[in-house]
Amino acid sequence: MAQVIGFIGLGIMGRPMAKNLLKAGYALVVHSRSRGPVDELAGAGAKTAGSPRDVAGQCDVLITMLPNSPDVDLVALGPNGIIEGAPVGLTYVDMSTISPIVSQKVGKALAAKGVKMLDAPVSGGEQGAINAALSIMVGGDKAVFDHALPIFQAMGKTITLLGPLGFGGFTKLANQIIVAGNLVALAEALTLAKKAGLDRELTLTALAGGLAGSKCLEQKKPNYVGDTYKPGFKIDLHSKDLGLIMESARELGVPLPATAVVQELFNALRVKGGGGLDHSGIITLLEDLAGVRE
């Protein structure tokens, strides 16, 4: 396979995504702030690079998977950034969840250098990344999307082109409204059940079989049963997404009253020191409020 792929950002999501690209036979050049994941990928066959600029100079398609808008802006346009090393014709795919407005700004700056960009945030959590079963929401030109599609297929199962650059991001924000709301609803329901004396595993089994069943319930069931909230997607990161959602809603003139309450619950857990928990850990806040947190 002739294409060389660059991958920047080897965190909880990026590391398994990069591994799946290696499994699919792609040549990979990687860079990340943390050395451990870089060494792990190098051990699996990837080349390493010292900066985003160095990655850009060695690949045909470059993927970033970063925490927030400022990170993408810096990696793409900052000193030693992608823009300084990108050859004309490079395809840049940002798979982070960031502000769609920032995606459009970065895309415009890179286009002036002959770089084509897609925004392609994902949903499915760590397990979806590990299993190459992510939903990938893409914004950008169709010809660029078609070129990148085989790469997406190595990482995900549901891959949708939604419109111009930025539309992937807006779709991901809509996704995050639903996920956060679902997790808060699960937290309230399970806290009620706990205070009533119900067995948690049996309760979840019953709920899963009816209209209350969901991907959130299915994927997070082990967390709830084990009362352990090791992060697949941190409260801190989902709280960041809720901030992006509310900013976009204000710009578009869309009232989101339920999401505003959900955002404050996530903020409250962060204040209590729970920002590093998995986002299903929002239940710990509700259990505290109900006096059933052991």
Which regions of the chain carry the CATH code 3.40.50.720?
A: 4-164
In this structure, the number of other CB atoms found within 10 A of the CB of residue 274 comes to 20
Query: Given 19, 116, 172, 220, which residue is catalytic?
Result: 172
Distances (CA, A) of 33 to 67, 95, 126: 12, 17, 19
CATH architecture of 170-290: Orthogonal Bundle (1.10)
Residue percentage of the chain with pLDDT more than 70 = 99
Distances (CA, A) of 107 to 149, 166, 192, 220: 19, 9, 47, 35
Tell me the pLDDT tens digit for each residue of 228-279: 999 989 999 999 999 999 999 999 999 999 999 999 999 999 999 999 999 9
* Burial letters 225-245, b for 16+ CB under 10 A, else e: eeeebebbbbbbbbbbbbebb
> Mean pLDDT of all residues in the chain?
97
Nearest Cα to Cα of residue 106 among 29, 65, 32, 165: 165
Tell me the pLDDT tens digit for each residue of 192-207: 999 999 999 999 999 9
CATH for the stretch 4-164: 3.40.50.720
d(CA 27, CA 103): 26
Instruction: Please say whether the beta carbons of 28 and 5 come within 8 A.
Output: yes
Which regions of the chain carry the CATH code 1.10.1040.10?
A: 170-290
pLDDT greater than 70 at residue 52: yes
Length of the chain: 294
Rounded average pLDDT over 160-181: 97
Nearest Cα to Cα of residue 280 among 240, 241, 227: 227
Instruction: Please say whether the beta carbons of 226 and 270 come within 8 A.
Output: no
d(CA 166, CA 145): 13
d(CA 42, CA 109): 31
Tell me the pLDDT tens digit for each residue of 91-105: 999 999 999 999 999
| pTM listed for this prediction | 0.92
The pLDDT value recorded for residue 294 is: 81
113 given a catalytic annotation: no
Output phi, psi for 161, to 5 deg: -85, 120
pLDDT greater than 60 at residue 1: no
d(CA 117, CA 168): 12
Q: What does DSSP assign to residue 279?
A: G
